Amino acid sequence: NAGVMQNPRHLVRRRGQEARLRCSPMKGHSHVYWYRQLPEEGLKFMVYLQKENIIDESGMPKERFSAEFPKEGPSILRIQQVVRGDSAAYFCASSLSQGPLGETQYFGPGTRLLVL
């Protein structure tokens, strides 16, 4: 399967715990994006990363949220001290490049986070 992989697919956390969401981009893709979808809403951009660099984090909440895309391994979205309002579906997407021909972002299946 050469698509975008995300794990876990479902994650349950209690308030105050940490959540770690992983994303492996499509083979050959070096651009990774994270989006969040709250119930009954569209997807909202959170952060755009390339290997070892955060390019745009304008959609990330200022506190408790962080993201990385290390040289080796998957991209990680980390949420510290989760609250009930963090319950959502978190989608990762990847693209081949950022030029006009490479702007198509392909999405993974998502991680559904439930905070109790």
Partner 1 sequence: DQQVKQNSPSLSVQEGRISILNCDYTNSMFDYFLWYKKYPAEGPTFLISISSIKDKNEDGRFTVFLNKSAKHLSLHIVPSQPGDSAVYFCAASARAGNMLTFGGGTRLMVKP
Encoded amino acid at 113, one letter: L
Cβ(57)–Cβ(47) under 8 Å? yes
Cis peptide before 25 (omega within 30 of 0): no
User: How many Cα atoms sit within 13 Å of 47 on the Cβ side?
Assistant: 19
- Choosing from 20, 74, 109, 114, the residue that interacts with partner 1 (CB under 8 A) is 109
For residues 59 and 15, what is the distance between their CA atoms, to the nearest angstrom?
A: 22
Q: Where in 82-101 is the site for partner 1 (CB under 8 A)?
A: 91, 93, 95, 98, 100
Stretch of 14-22, 60-68, 73-81, 104-112 contacting partner 1, by CB under 8 A: 104-112
Residue ranges in 9-68 that form contacts with partner 1 under rule CB under 8 A: 31, 33, 35, 41-45, 48, 55-56, 58-59
Nearer CB in complex with partner 1: 18/52 = 52
Q: Is 54 helix (H, G, I), strand (E, B) or coil?
A: strand
Type of residue found at 72: E
Q: Is 69 a residue that touches partner 1 (CB under 8 A)?
A: no
Tokens of 30: 């070096």
Positions touching partner 1 (CB under 8 A) are: 4, 6, 31, 33, 35, 41-45, 48, 55-56, 58-59, 91, 93, 95, 98, 100, 103-110, 112
